[in-house]
Structure 1
Amino acid sequence: MEVWEGNRLKRLGDLFEIVKDEDSGDDESPTIILSGNLAKVRRIGAEMSRGRIVVEGDVGMHLGEGMKGGTIRVIGDAGPWVGCMMRGGLIEIEGSAGDYVGASYRGSREGMKGGTIIIHGDAGSEVGCFMKGGLIKIRGDAGQFVGVHMAGGTILVEGDCGGRAGAEMTDGKIILCGYVPSILPTFTIDDVKSSAKVNGEKIKGPFYRFIGDIAEDGKGRLFVSKPRNPHLNFYEKYL
């Protein structure tokens, strides 16, 4: 197997110690275990279609880029662009992740289209940028612009969230269970819901449900926790 070190193509065995375990799965569904600090190693699991990767340590940028199937588990933190342009499979990060989880590259409108990303810690800004399908779960906090340009799929943030959630979204669902500083003026309140659904699972509310981004003729649904955001109760007079 060949990998890039800077601008030089090298054999994987020249850079890492490789040990084959007879119990690591068959050729159709192999398991690869990577141990150590891989924070400067990029594109682990890129274009992956089957099998399983376990990383025992931190990983660098572009984890699971363009992933189509299989499972990646990171026992540590991950850099930016986790699951960018992802099509299928599962990525699970036990720690935190950087910016652009499930997003598109700069200059592209092709974000995540399928699969599931679970971040047990925090995530940076622009989670799900140009997302069109799939599911992203953030167990901790998220930065600004969650779901910016979103056109489909579901994002769940169980912690607090930065501002401008759902900016320029046209479809899809964002559920924010924690504190949100404000709602963009291009979203209109639609209802107060007792719960929100994520792939059949009920997330206990109540939630304010907003529709937007109206500036984009959007029909995206933004669910915001009512108990965690008493400063938003003025919206109730518009119901």
Structure 2
Amino acid sequence: MSGWKFTLKQAPPLRVDLRALSPAALADLSASAVAKLGAWHGNESVALGELFTIAAHADGELLFEGDLAKFDRIGWQLAGGRIRVDGSVGDYLGAGMSGGEVVASGHAGLLAACEMSGGRLEIGGNAGDYAASALPGSMDGMRGGTLVVRGSAGARFGDRMRRGSALVFGDAGDFLASRMVAGTIAVAGRIGAHAGYGMRRGSVVCAGAAPAIGPTFVPNGTNIDVFWQLLARDLARHGGAFAALPQRPVRRHLGDLAASGKGELLLCG
């Protein structure tokens, strides 16, 4: 399987939709055929050769170089293979992906990993609002896989999240894990207001400063040492602030009781 390297020539004036590009879709094409493929630029289709310098690359990998902040839907519904971006990206990074790996070294726009069901997505910088959440009009957010944000995350991170693991090495915005159904979210830094709003189930690990706990969450003194060790060790393999979690004590708050929720906020001491 052939891989390709896309080097941005210059930033486009309008947003570009790259949903059609995946390792599998480009595997059997020649360089000239790849260059002729179209991508939506606003409401017009533009050949990839006009946007990028295209060259053969490592087997099976798509590599993008440059500031792709105006390029949306990279890794859209990816089922396998690897996509790497040396720079920032636009909205919907890895949205709907079910397998494979997407790695971006810079920042990501809105709705990264929304409705992701498998695979691994890593963002080297910050993630915009609604990461690991639901697509507009949908009921379910992230459904599986692993999301790692090395920087900070915006508001509504994990909104309606149903399954999978999402880690934020920096801070998280307001309404973290809002309407969360299940899954695991871990945050190393500060957490904004209204964490767990409408939460039904799932676990939020607060590895940094304890957030403000809403009145619809109550402390719970049940011994969860065995569960905590299993969860903490799974998170510790990602390193950084999470590496020492197995050695840290934990306090548990249950809620959101206003939504008959059985979720938990785990505050690390």
2:234: which partner in 1? Answer: 200
Residues 207-216 or 127-136, more deviating: 207-216
Give 1:207 shift.
2.2
Say if 1:87 and 1:198 are closer, same or farther in 2 by CA, change over 3 A.
Answer: farther
State how far apart, in whole Å, the 1-side matches of 2:88 and 2:119 are.
20
Give 1:91 shift.
0.6
Give 1:206 shift.
2.1
Give 1:136 shift.
0.3
The reply on whether 1:46 has 2:100 as its aligned counterpart is no
TM (norm. structure 2) is 0.77
1:210: which partner in 2? Answer: 253
> Which runs of at least 4 in structure 1 moved beyond 6 Å after TM superposition?
none
Which residue of the other structure, out of 117, 120, 128, is the alignment partner of 2:150? 120
Say if 1:114 and 1:199 are closer, same or farther in 2 by CA, change over 3 A.
Answer: farther
State how far apart, in whole Å, the 2-side matches of 1:153 and 1:146 are.
13
The letter for the 1-side match of 2:259 is: E
Residues 121-130 or 104-113, more deviating: 104-113
Give 1:13 shift.
2.1
- After the TM superposition, which residues 59-98 of structure 1 pair with which residues of structure 2 at under 5 Å, given as runs? 59-98=89-128
Which residue of the other structure, out of 50, 70, 74, is the alignment partner of 1:14? 50
TM (norm. structure 1) is 0.87
State how far apart, in whole Å, the 1-side matches of 2:233 and 2:139 are.
25
The letter for the 1-side match of 2:149 is: I
Question: Is the 2:195–2:211 Cα contact (8 Å) retained in structure 1?
Answer: no
Question: Is the 1:193–1:205 Cα contact (8 Å) retained in structure 2?
Answer: no
1:220: which partner in 2? Answer: 263
Question: Is the 1:162–1:180 Cα contact (8 Å) retained in structure 2?
Answer: no
Say if 1:116 and 1:201 are closer, same or farther in 2 by CA, change over 3 A.
Answer: closer
State how far apart, in whole Å, the 2-side matches of 1:123 and 1:167 are.
17
User: Where does the alignment leave 5 or more consecutive residues of structure 1 unmatched?
Assistant: 227-239
The DSSP-based 3-state class of the residue aligned with 1:126 is coil
The DSSP-based 3-state class of the residue aligned with 1:134 is strand
State how far apart, in whole Å, the 1-side matches of 2:124 and 2:45 are.
31
* Residues 161-185 of structure 1: CA deviation (Å, up to 9, x unaligned): 1121111011111001122441111
* Residues 34-86 of structure 1: CA deviation (Å, up to 9, x unaligned): 00010111110101111111100111111011011111111111112110110
CA RMSD of aligned residues (A): 1.7
2:171: which partner in 1? Answer: 141
Residues 176-185 or 88-97, more deviating: 176-185
1:235: which partner in 2? Answer: none
State how far apart, in whole Å, the 1-side matches of 2:144 and 2:232 are.
14
The DSSP-based 3-state class of the residue aligned with 2:109 is coil
